Amino acid sequence: MKLSCVVNKDISDPDDKSFKQANRKNYRKRLQIVTLAISFILAIAIISIAYLTSPDYLLYSDNIISLTENVDGSIIITFNDKVAGYDIKKYGAGDGTGYVYELTAWNTVFNQCFPNNKIKSMILNPDGEKVASVYYYSDGMDNVLIYGEDQNPDGGAIPLPRLLLGYYFIIVVLLAILCGVFLFIFRKKEKKRNILVKVSLLPISYLFSHLCIKGLKTTSYMALRDFLIILLLVLPIYCLLLLSINLYRSQRSRSKLEEGV
């Protein structure tokens, strides 16, 4: 009768564990570096697209826009190939004689590089509304009456840009200051400090994003477009800041460890 002997081998080899931990750290570091590079490329792409499509408002001239009135009362607006986009505002006239239209047009760097030769035409009043006046406005310039009766006979009117971005900018600055105060209070508590660092990077990322898209300017005629682009840029900037801090901390810990050895 044969006796089988089972030898128990300790599978928890310290060297093997150290090797696996080193591999995990190297993999995590490589992943962070790749993510950092992707975030940087994405941020540059968003900033480039925002710049290429940023509206450059055109001054009124017969070469930019023409207006034609049909027999049925419909008014056709035609833009030439210098116009990359346009915007129209509509409101009732004060005397109730019809509607007042304010329109503007702009060009972009992208359209200058790749011009669109198709002339854009649109019907101003497709539902047969009575048109009292049509104005053309540009950034910081008085309205130019191009059709109908002047609704401002005592002087020109200037459409004001929206202040929405300015309000958000102030709120985010206050949030960043508040996060800084909490960081100072909990500076000696590592866990809370690490959480606060991640939270504080959000308003800081928004501030960087706003500066990249609008600079120090907080007004905009296209506030919704600018706000969405700013929000879109926040994510890659946040990743850049967070990953940079993590890589700096890991490098500093490694340097201290090597100095101790």
The Cβ-side half-sphere exposure at 115, using a 13 Å CA radius, reads: 8
Phi-psi region at 119: left, alpha or beta (left = phi > 0; alpha = psi -120 to 50): beta
Cβ atoms of 185 and 244 within 8 Å: the answer is no
* Residue 171 pLDDT: 95
* Residue 1 pLDDT: 47
Total length of the chain: 261
Q: Which two tokens stand for residue 37?
A: 């590079």
**pTM score over 0.85:** no
Rg value, the chain, Cα: 30
* Residue 226 pLDDT: 93
* Residue 179 pLDDT: 94
Residue 151: how many CB atoms within 10 A of its CB?
17
pLDDT means per 10 residues in the chain (261 residues)? Answer: 50 61 76 91 96 90 83 88 87 83 90 75 87 86 84 68 88 95 90 91 96 90 91 95 88 71 54
